[in-house]
Amino acid sequence: MKKIALVTGATSGIGKATAIMLAGCGFNLIITGRREERLAELKSQLEIKYKAEALPLCFDIRNRNEVCNTVNNLPEQWKNIDVLVNNAGLAVGLNHIQDGLFDDWERMIDTNIRGLLYITRCVAPLMIKNRRGHIINICSVAGKDVYEKGNVYCATKYAVDALSKAMRIDMLKHGIKVTNVCPGAVETEFSIVRFKDDTAQAKATYAGMTPLTGDDIAGVIKFAISLPPHVCINDIVVTPASQANALIIDRN
């Protein structure tokens, strides 16, 4: 029987690349996001190209009732989740703290922290029941160092970093691995979202450098999940070769 992975935020970027990688590795996929058409397209791609079964779940991860009702009512054949990739997330705005917008802050906190917690709270008991599983939390270099104007986004990723450590302790006796993945600059829709559809500003984020791609991060996740049962990668920081950390990028 094929293993099952649940990837949040599979409609774009890192999540989509990860879902495709996992299908290529022989997993059946539960894919989530708010954009229903994209989920449907990805489902067809996974089924036709990779012969994987795919279950699209369309919800806003900030909506606790929607998340819990959906995951708690999964069809029986989808309940044995082996890998959970907590990927859905975003940055909105880039402002000094005194200029920040409450709506931006709440979107980031509700998505990156609360959403991740809602999903994990619903999926972890299913893994515990099976005494196996691997939770991959997509954190960021922004969860390791803070940078100017990054304030609230960085705070949400510091929270993810802390939650990965906490989950690893709580899951230890249940045989469930927890891996924190901290990417640097990855060219996805991330900057388009951060800069609220200002595509020129989004593009400038990656000027003079070769950013990572979603596939690069999927490759790192593939490595983490393919290690033997007694080996757990706790924390991976992965940046473009021209990026030292969240603060320092060599642009030429």
Residues near ligand 8X3 (CB under 6 A): 140-142, 150, 185, 246
- Rounded Cα distance between 141 and 71, Å, is 30
Q: Find the shortest distance in angstroms from Cβ 144 to ligand 8X3.
A: 10
- Rounded Cα distance between 136 and 92, Å, is 23
Per annotation, catalytic residue among 147, 153, 158, 206 = 153
Pick one of ligand 8X3, ligand NDP, none as the site partner of residue 88 (Cβ within 5 to 8 A by kind).
Answer: ligand NDP
Q: Find the shortest distance in angstroms from Cβ 88 to ligand NDP.
A: 4
Q: Find the shortest distance in angstroms from Cβ 237 to ligand 8X3.
A: 11
| DSSP three-state, residue 43 | helix
Nearer to ligand NDP, 83 or 88 (CB): 88
Q: Find the shortest distance in angstroms from Cβ 26 to ligand 8X3.
A: 30
List the one residue out of 155, 173, 151 whose CA is nearest residue 163: 155
Residues 6 or more apart from 179 whose CB is under 8 A from it? 134, 135, 136, 137, 164, 221, 224, 232, 233, 234, 235, 236
Residues 125-184 that bind ligand NDP (CB under 6 A): 138, 140, 183
Q: How many other C-beta atoms lie within 10 A of the C-beta of residue 149? A: 15
Q: Find the shortest distance in angstroms from Cβ 134 to ligand 8X3.
A: 22
List the one residue out of 135, 143, 163 whose CA is nearest residue 232: 135
Residues 6 or more apart from 223 whose CB is under 8 A from it? 233
Nearer to ligand NDP, 2 or 34 (CB): 34
Report helix angle 214-225 to 13-24, nearest 10: 50
- Rounded Cα distance between 67 and 30, Å, is 13
Nearer to ligand NDP, 28 or 137 (CB): 137
- Rounded Cα distance between 10 and 228, Å, is 26
Is there a catalytic annotation at residue 147?
no
Pick one of ligand 8X3, ligand NDP, none as the site partner of residue 15 (Cβ within 5 to 8 A by kind).
Answer: ligand NDP
- Quick one: which of 29, 42, 61, 135 contacts ligand NDP (CB under 6 A)? 61
- Quick one: which of 6, 42, 122, 185 contacts ligand NDP (CB under 6 A)? 185
Active-site residue set: 153
Residues that bind ligand NDP (CB under 6 A): 9-15, 33-35, 60-62, 87-90, 111, 138, 140, 183, 185-186, 188-190, 193, 214
